[in-house]
Chains A and B, each alone.
Chain A
Amino acid sequence: MNVLLDHLPEFREGFLGTLAITAASAVLALVLGILIAGFRVSPIPPLRAFGTAWVTLLRNTPLTLLFLIAFFVIPQIFFPGTSPFVLAMGALGCYTSSFVCEAVRSGINTVPIGQAEAARSLGMTFTQTLRMIVLPQATRTVIPPLSSIFIALTKNSAIAGAFSNTELFNVSKLLSDKGFAIGWIFLWIALAYLVITFTISGAFRLLERRLEVAR
């Protein structure tokens, strides 16, 4: 009990840090994921190949290795002096984008074939078909998997704490270094993560209900 009350500022900062890094990389993952899902169904072979390579490589690489690349190679080679937050966001966002891409692509596959055929016969182009007909309908089937992807992202963001970002894992490290019992710290941190993950799954369930249509 005392650990939480005496170190409320640290806990609050860690909580907000986790929220910030999760939100930032979620946005990056969504944008990249949808873009690359578009690449993977596009009529242009090099883009398709790029999308496939991106997904295969990132899905089979441990996230820790990506963090290693982001923190030891990227600053040396591309942009020296990038803040740890941006680097962590890049690693988490790229990793998660491959999962978002697969979810979106399987969502595209669940839209009835007639929808795209009708759009095509109205003379819509590939981009128009995807943007105005297929993706809006795919949204509904994509939302449940997206919810678990973002929950996983929240949990993965703990690794950012091991790479000099302020978030909940970092707080647990800091407090245990100060000599507090790890059991209590673990419980409070677990509670904080539960709050975030329950909020995400609740929000997505709400979204799912809002987007529901009677078929």
Chain B
Amino acid sequence: MSSSVLYDAPGPKARVRNRIFSVVGVLAVLGIVVFAVLRLNAKGQFEPEMWNIFNNASVRTNIRDGVLTTLKVFAVAAVLSLLLGTLLAVGRLSDHKPVRWLVTGFIELFRAVPLLITIYSLWLLFLTYKSELGFSGDSTEFWALVIGLTVYNGSVQAEVLRAGINSVPKGQREAAYALGMSKTQVMMTVLVPQAVRAMLPTIISQLVVTLKDTSLGFVITYKELLYSLQEMAGNILVNDENPYFPMIVVGGVIYITMCMVLSALATWIERRGRRAKTGIPVADATQPTAGGDIANQAPVDLPTDLPDIK
């Protein structure tokens, strides 16, 4: 339903009323903005010196290193979570009951526990056995963050992929078996590739969630973008004020840009997928939930009359 059905093309009276509402709305938003600007100004957050800190070489290096660290965590966690996700999805569709139960338990446990608690517990665990595990420097935090992100996002990706595998038409599997392919071959060369294709937008949306969640490294004092920003904001004093506002503006812009580029990719792939005529519906690119519980939703986007593969 397009939103224009909800109202007629405005007549003279409605136009006047809409204009009044527009003015009131704009004034209300402006009022809040002006108030915020005045208060920020009173705190000296708009002084040129405050923003001059970004001309400082070490501040720039810190931000660059922060972005690179964030991207490094994201890259490793993304690759590992996709691998784990495929493994878990295949495991959950396995013919062997114990494997199925074990994998289902794993997926449900790590999807239910907040990621922050997983990461924090892993961090403490790694700190306790630091020397035995051979960690040095900040690699303890790095691996706690990466493994935490991997088990959580891997579990979610597994559910997404499972929904994708179940959406592949039954004939594909039957044809593959009829050709004499083994179970592994059918799964890896026929079902998974088509499932990935169908679910690619959802998978990428979940990667956006992974990218956003790298900021949880802040809590375990890992020096990614958010932590370096906060550290700098806390350490630098300009005219006796901490430059929290400039730091958050810069950090916010960086994060939003990174996430929006990835989201745009998902939307683009979704639109391309709509054009192809493979008979397999391509999932929505929207991120349906706050924490990325896409898997709960994925079946909603797919036709419900598809065969259930055990």
Is A166 at the interface (CB under 8 A from chain B)?
Answer: no
Among B29, B125, B219, contact of A64 (Cβ-Cβ < 8 Å) = B219
The residues of B with any CB-CB pair to A shorter than 8 Å are 1, 3, 5-8, 10, 14, 18, 21-22, 25-26, 29, 35-36, 39-40, 43, 45, 109, 112-118, 120-121, 124-125, 128, 208, 212-216, 218-219, 226, 230, 233, 242, 244-245, 248, 251-252, 255-256, 259-260, 263, 286-293, 296-297, 300
Inter-chain contacts of A155 with B (CB < 8 A): 112-115, 291
Extra pairs beyond A61-B256, A148-B293 (8, CB < 8 Å)? A42-B3, A43-B18, A65-B251, A76-B43, A96-B290, A145-B297, A154-B114, A159-B219
Tell me whether chain B's interface is mostly helix, strand or loop, or mixed. helix
Contacts of B212 in A (CB 8 A): 60-63
Interface positions of A (Cβ within 8 A of B): 40-47, 50, 56-57, 59-65, 68-69, 72-73, 76-78, 95-96, 99, 102-103, 106, 108-113, 116-117, 120, 125-126, 129-130, 134, 144-145, 147-149, 151-159, 161-162, 168-169, 172-173, 176, 182-183, 185-186, 189-190, 193-194, 197
A31 CB → nearest B CB, Å:
16
Chain A residues lying within 8 Å of B263, measured Cβ to Cβ, are 60
Known contacts A152-B289, A189-B113, A190-B113; A73/B121 CB under 8 A: no
Closest Cβ of chain B: how far from A13's Cβ, in Å?
17
Which A residues lie within 8 Å of B3 (CB)? Answer: 40-42, 108
Report the Cα distance A40→B45, complex, angstroms: 32
Please list the 4 inter-chain residue pairs (A to B) with the smallest Cβ-Cβ separation, ordered nearest first: A152-B291, A158-B114, A62-B215, A60-B259
27 contacts between A and B (CB under 8 A): A43-B6, A43-B14, A44-B21, A46-B22, A46-B29, A59-B287, A60-B208, A60-B259, A60-B263, A61-B259, A62-B226, A96-B290, A103-B288, A109-B1, A111-B1, A126-B7, A148-B289, A151-B291, A152-B289, A152-B292, A157-B114, A158-B114, A162-B219, A172-B121, A183-B125, A186-B113, A190-B117
